[in-house]
Amino acid sequence: MKTTPFTEKHIALGAKMAEFAGYNMPISYSGINDEHAAVRNNAGVFDVSHMGEFILKGENALELIQRLTSNDAAKLTAGKAQYSCLPNADGGIVDDLLVYCMEENKSYMLVVNAGNIDKDWKWIVDHNDKGVEMHNISDKTCLLAIQGPNANKILQSLTDKDILNLNYYTFVKGNFAGVDNVLISATGYTGAGGVEIYFENKNDDAAQIWEAIFAAGAAQGIKPIGLGARDTLRLEMGFCLYGNDIDDTTSPLEAGLGWITKFTKDFTSKAIFEKQKATGVSKKLVGFEMLEKGIARHDYVIKDFAGAIIGKVTSGTQAPSLGKAIGIGYVESKYAAIDTEIYISVRNTLLKAKVVKMPFA
C-alpha cells in the first residue's frame, strides 16, 4: 500500500488504519461519532493527501478544460475554483473534480479522486491534441483539510493571508506555518466550514505544518479525523462520493448535478445531456430518511409499497448530527418527489422510508 507523509503520525496517534484507493489511510481515531461531532462543532484535521492533482498550462489549457468538463471554467478568474465533472462519451461520469484557476486562461489545477488518478490522467492526455503542458503532481502534493466552524480562527495565526474572510470556492497562496507557496482554499467536503491546504513536502514541511496546526489548535481541542467521519459528514450534506453515488454509468442530470452542467459551451456528451434535460431522466438521485429502525447500506434494493424494485441505495448511515438513519439512492423518477414513501430491503425485510430534501443537516 502507498503511504502519505502523515502515515506514521496517524499510526502513532493510534488510528484505525485501512486500505483506501491503494493508500494506508486512517479510518478513525477516537471513533466516528466523536470525530464527526468535533468537526460539526469545533475543528478537525483530515489527511487527504491521497487525492490527485494535475497542472494544465498554456494558451490552450482553458480550451481543453472546457471541452472535457461539464461546468463553465471560462467564468473562473485567478483565485477562484469550481466543482465540475468529466463526462465520458456515453453520458456517464469519468470523475468529479475541482478546477482551480491559478492564472486566468493560462494555468489551472485539477483535483481528482484518489482512485481515479490514473484513469483521469489518461482520459485528459488522450484528448490533449493541442499541446497543453500537463504535470501530474499527485505524488509530491500534500493535502490537509482542516474543517469545522472554528478551523479558520485557529489557523489564522499561522498565515499572513486573511482566511477569516475567505469566500467559499476561492483560494489564496502564501506562507503558512513558515512554509512558502501553500495554497489555502475554501472548498471543503464537510459543509462545516474551514479550509484545505495544498503544499509540496520539501525539507519535511509536512511534519512542520502538521505540528503547527495541532499546536495552534491545542487550547481549542482540535482533533485528527479519519475517513469514516469524512463520509458521514459529506453524506449529511448530500455530497456525492464517486464510486458510490456517481460513476461511469450515471449522468450529472440523474445525480442532481444539473447546476454544474452548462449548455453554453461544447463538451463531451453535451448532446446526450441536452436530450435528458428536454425529455427528462428515467431515474434520479434522492435523499431519504428511514421511518423504521434500520440502516440503508450501499447496493440495498429500494422497492415500492407493492414490493416492485424501483431503485438502489448508493450511500447510507446513521447520521451522527441528526440521530436518525439517512441515505441517498437512485429511484425511478416518478418516485423522486419529496415525501414519497419508499421501502428499503434490509435482510429481506421492507423498511419504510421517505424521500426528503437535501442537505439533511
- pLDDT at position 203: 86
- Top-confidence residue, 348 or 88: 88
For residue 38, which amino acid is it?
A
Report d(CA 186, CA 152) in Å as an integer.
Answer: 10
In this predicted model, what pLDDT tens digit does every residue of 76-118 receive, in sequence order?
Answer: 999 999 999 999 999 999 999 999 999 999 999 999 999 999 9
Evaluate whether 116 touches 88 at the Cβ level (below 8 Å): no
Residue 219 has pLDDT above 90, yes or no: yes
For residue 114, give the 3-state DSSP assignment.
Answer: helix
- With a CB cutoff of 8 Å and minimum separation 6, the contacts of 218 are none
Query: Against a cut of 0.95, is the pTM above it?
Result: yes
Residue 66 has pLDDT above 90, yes or no: yes
Where do the structural domains in the chain lie, given as residue ranges? 7-50+139-236, 52-136, 282-356
At the fourth CATH level, the homologous superfamily of domain 52-136 is Aminomethyltransferase beta-barrel domains (3.30.70.1400)
Q: Smallest Cα–Cα separation from 148: which of 89, 225, 228?
A: 225
Architecture field, domain 7-50+139-236: 2-Layer Sandwich (3.30)
In this predicted model, what pLDDT tens digit does every residue of 12-28 receive, in sequence order?
Answer: 999 999 999 999 999 99
Evaluate whether 87 touches 33 at the Cβ level (below 8 Å): no
Bridge partners, residue 147, by sequence: 44, 194
Same topology, domains 7-50+139-236 and 52-136? Answer is no
Count of CB atoms situated within 10 Å of the CB of 288: 26
At the fourth CATH level, the homologous superfamily of domain 282-356 is Aminomethyltransferase beta-barrel domains (2.40.30.110)
For residues 139-167, b (16+ Cβ closer than 10 Å) or e, as one string? eebbbbbbbbebbbebbeebbebebeebe
Give the pLDDT mean for 243-255: 98
Q: Mean pLDDT for the chain?
A: 98
Bridge partners, residue 141, by sequence: 200
